[in-house]
Structure 1
Amino acid sequence: MAEIEDQESTQAAGGKLVEVVLDEASISRSTPDVEHDRAVAIYDLIDENVFQPAGQPEGRFVLNLSVVEKKLVFDIKTDGGEQVVTHVLSLTPLRKVVKDYDLICQSYYEAIRRATPSQIEAIDMGRRGVHNEGSSILMERLEGKITVDMQTARRLFTLVYALHWKG
Structure 2
Amino acid sequence: MSEHRLASITLDAATLPAATAEIEHERRVAIFDLVEKNSFEPAGSDTGPYALALSLQDNRLVFDIAGQGAAEGFARTYALSLTPMKTVLKDYLLICDSYYEALRGSSPSQIEAVDMGRRGLHNEGAELLKQRLEGKVVVDHETARRLFTLVCALYRRG
Q: Percent identity?
A: 53
2:7 match: 18
For 2:25, which of 10, 16, 36 is the aligned residue? 36
1:104 equivalent in alignment to 2:99: no
Report the AA paired with residue 68 of structure 1. Answer: Q
The ranges of structure 1 where at least 4 consecutive aligned residues each deviate by more than 4 angstroms after the TM superposition are none
Q: Secondary structure at the match of 2:38?
A: coil
Q: Secondary structure at the match of 2:15?
A: coil
| 1:102-149 Cα distance to aligned partner (Å, 9 max, x none) | 110000001011011111011000000000010000000001100100
- The answer (yes or no) to whether the contact 1:26–1:166 under 8 Å persists in 2 is no
1:45 equivalent in alignment to 2:34: yes
Deviation at 1:83, TM superposition (A): 4.7
- The answer (yes or no) to whether the contact 2:93–2:156 under 8 Å persists in 1 is no
1:131 equivalent in alignment to 2:113: no
Deviation at 1:29, TM superposition (A): 1.8
How many residue pairs get matched?
156
Report the AA paired with residue 86 of structure 1. Answer: T
Instruction: Please report the TM-score for the alignment, with normalisation by the length of structure 2.
Output: 0.94
- The answer (yes or no) to whether the contact 2:45–2:74 under 8 Å persists in 1 is no
1:92 equivalent in alignment to 2:83: yes
- The answer (yes or no) to whether the contact 2:38–2:140 under 8 Å persists in 1 is yes
**Where in structure 1 are there 5+ consecutive unaligned residues?**
1-9
